[in-house]
């Protein structure tokens, strides 16, 4: 079989580059900062368990995967339906302090988060909540803010 002149040179150079790639990657030149497969999908990283009534309160709960955290200041809860109804502020536990490169000094939640929203006695109950939150992975990647519409049982 006859060789194609430029093909041998091209193949040889490809081999050199392939052999050099691990060395370059070890030095960080070709290595991406974060592999996409290193991150969980957002709903696995921050498993929102929904809202439920508990006496005179609404409870919202998240399970946070190991190596991930939620920002306290990014948690917002509002009534979606009926639109004119408002809620008291969510009561949140004390979080862990973190110096964040983007937001400065913040509080974060790891493992689990339970928020409690007091309901006014005799006031109409919300049917649907709009829940907004944001979290990050410890490896330095933050997810976009998430918004969930949640039925209140």
pLDDT digits (tens, 9 = 90+) for 47-94: 999 999 888 899 999 999 999 999 999 999 999 888 788 889 999 999
Residue 26 lies in a domain: no
CATH number, residue 56: 2.60.40.1250
Residue 147 lies in a domain: yes
Q: Range of 77's domain? A: 39-151
Please state the length of the chain.
Answer: 153
Bond preceding residue 110 cis, omega within 30 of 0: no
Residue 10 lies in a domain: no
Residue 79 lies in a domain: yes
Residue 68 lies in a domain: yes
Residue 31 lies in a domain: no
Angle at 145 between CA 140 and CA 150, to 5 degrees: 135
CA-nearest of 115, 133, 137 to 73 is 133
- Going by C-beta distance under 8 Å and a sequence separation of 6 or more, which residues neighbour residue 93? 109, 113, 114
**Model's pTM, two decimal places?**
0.73
Residue 6 lies in a domain: no
CA distance 10 to 16: 10
Angle at 88 between CA 114 and CA 77, to 5 degrees: 55
Per the structure, the count of domains in the chain is: 1
- Going by C-beta distance under 8 Å and a sequence separation of 6 or more, which residues neighbour residue 49? 60, 61, 62, 63
Residue 28 lies in a domain: no
Q: What is the pLDDT of residues 112-145, one digit of tens each?
A: 999 999 988 877 788 899 999 999 999 989 999 9
């Amino acid at each position: 079989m006859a060789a194609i002149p430029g093909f041998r040179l091209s193949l040889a150079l490809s081999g050199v580059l392939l052999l050099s790639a691990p060395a370059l990657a070890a030095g960080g030149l070709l290595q991406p900062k974060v592999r996409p497969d290193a991150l969980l999908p957002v709903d696995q990283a921050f498993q929102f368990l929904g809202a439920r009534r508990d006496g005179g309160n609404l409870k919202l709960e998240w399970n946070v995967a190991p190596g991930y955290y939620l920002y306290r200041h990014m948690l917002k809860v509002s009534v979606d339906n009926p639109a004119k109804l408002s809620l008291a502020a969510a009561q949140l536990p004390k979080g862990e302090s973190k110096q964040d490169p983007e937001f400065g000094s913040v509080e974060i939640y790891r493992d689990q988060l339970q928020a409690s929203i007091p309901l006014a006695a005799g006031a109409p109950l919300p049917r649907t909540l709009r829940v907004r939150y944001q979290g990050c992975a410890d490896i330095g990647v933050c997810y976009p803010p998430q918004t969930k519409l949640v039925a209140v049982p």
